[in-house]
Amino acid sequence: KIDGNSAKCNKVFKTAGNTTNMKDHLRSLHKIDQNVEVPAVPNTSGVAQISIAESFQNMAEYGADGNKTKRINDAIIYMISKDVQPFVSIVENKGFIYLMNTVAPRYKIPSRYLITKWVDGKFLEMKEMWKRLLNGKTLTLTMDVWSDQMSMRSYLGITAHFQIELEMTSLTIGVLELSERHTSVYLTEMLESCCKDWHIEKELVTAVVTDNGANVVKAVDLG
Contact predicate 159/172, CB 8 Å: yes
- Residues contacting residue 147 through CB under 8 Å, at least 6 positions apart: 153, 154, 155
Annotation: CATH topology of 135-222? Nucleotidyltransferase; domain 5 (3.30.420)
Q: Which sign, positive or negative, has the C-alpha torsion 65, 71, 73, 77?
A: positive
Query: In the chain, what are the helix, strand and coil shares in percent, each to the nearest 5?
Result: 45, 20, 35
**Domain ranges across the chain:** 53-126, 135-222
The pLDDT of residue 26 is 52
Q: Encode pLDDT of 37-65 as tens digits.
A: 333 333 433 445 555 555 555 544 433 44
Q: Where is 195: in which H helix or E strand? A: helix 184-197
Question: What does the alpha-carbon distance between residue 131 and residue 198 come to, in Å, rounded to a whole number?
Answer: 6
The pLDDT of residue 55 is 58
Question: Strand order of the sheet with strand 139-148?
Answer: 48-50, 167-178, 153-164, 139-148, 205-209
C-alpha distances (whole Å) from 215 to each of 15, 31, 110 are: 20, 34, 45
Question: What does the alpha-carbon distance between residue 135 and residue 219 come to, in Å, rounded to a whole number?
Answer: 24
Q: Encode pLDDT of 52-104 as tens digits.
A: 555 555 544 433 444 788 889 989 988 988 888 887 788 899 999 999 999 99
Task: Band the pLDDT of 186: cuts 50, 70, 90.
Answer: very high
CB atoms within 10 A of CB 189: 15
| Between residues 16 and 140, the one the model is more confident about | 140
- Residues contacting residue 197 through CB under 8 Å, at least 6 positions apart: 174
Say whether pLDDT at 196 is over 90: yes
How many Cα atoms occupy the beta-carbon half-sphere of 11 within 13 Å?
6
